[in-house]
């Protein structure tokens, strides 16, 4: 089971590194991509409870380490999202990519709004930045729809490759 966690963590680390580089280049245009639900969705849908929570906690700590939010914010939000996805996973077809993308899409909106509420203290501080927040969310959701199938296929392939290797040896 440690292999599941390592494989999942390294795929999440790859996603985090790619997003960091993309956000670095988008900073010139004052844009930010937020696709945090990709760190949570497949681990909640596919992995056993213990492995999934461990992978989600590691992803939350990874995102907390490089974010200007109080430490533990991403970890808490990711864990709550993981728990909510686990509650609904028995009633949905989790093997289908379209279902996974839809869950990631909805979870990303929820995570974005939760993080915005945590960071913005009052309504007077929200109004000047509201257009940018909406623009960032729309672009993030579009990019999430584009890269989610690739990332889920990468994680699924890595996990099935590890399972094949474990059965073979």
How does pLDDT run across 65-121, given as a tens digit for each residue? 888 888 899 999 999 999 999 999 888 888 889 999 999 999 999 999 999 888 876
Q: Helix or strand or coil: residue 149?
A: helix
- What does the alpha-carbon distance between residue 115 and residue 158 come to, in Å, rounded to a whole number? 30
Q: What is the pTM of this model?
A: 0.90
CA-based nearest residue to 45, from 125, 106, 129? 106
Cα 116–chain centre separation: 16
Contacts of 20 (CB under 8 A, 6+ apart): 66
pLDDT of residue 8: 87
């Amino acid at each position: 089971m440690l292999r599941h966690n390592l494989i999942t963590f390294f795929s999440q680390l790859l996603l985090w590194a790619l997003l960091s580089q993309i956000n670095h280049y988008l900073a010139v245009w004052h844009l930010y991509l937020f696709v945090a639900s990709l760190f949570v969705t497949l681990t909640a849908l596919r992995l056993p409870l213990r492995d999934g929570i461990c992978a989600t906690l590691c992803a939350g700590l990874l995102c907390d380490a490089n974010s200007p939010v109080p430490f533990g914010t991403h970890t808490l939000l990711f864990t709550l999202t993981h728990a909510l996805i686990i509650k609904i996973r028995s009633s949905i077809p989790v093997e289908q990519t379209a279902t996974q993308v839809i869950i990631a899409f909805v979870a990303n909106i929820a995570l974005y709004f939760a993080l915005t509420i945590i960071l913005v203290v009052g309504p007077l501080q929200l109004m000047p930045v509201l257009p940018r927040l909406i623009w960032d969310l729309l672009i993030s959701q579009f990019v999430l729809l584009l890269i989610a199938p690739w990332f889920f296929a990468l994680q699924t392939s890595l996990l099935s490759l590890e399972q094949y290797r474990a059965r073979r040896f």
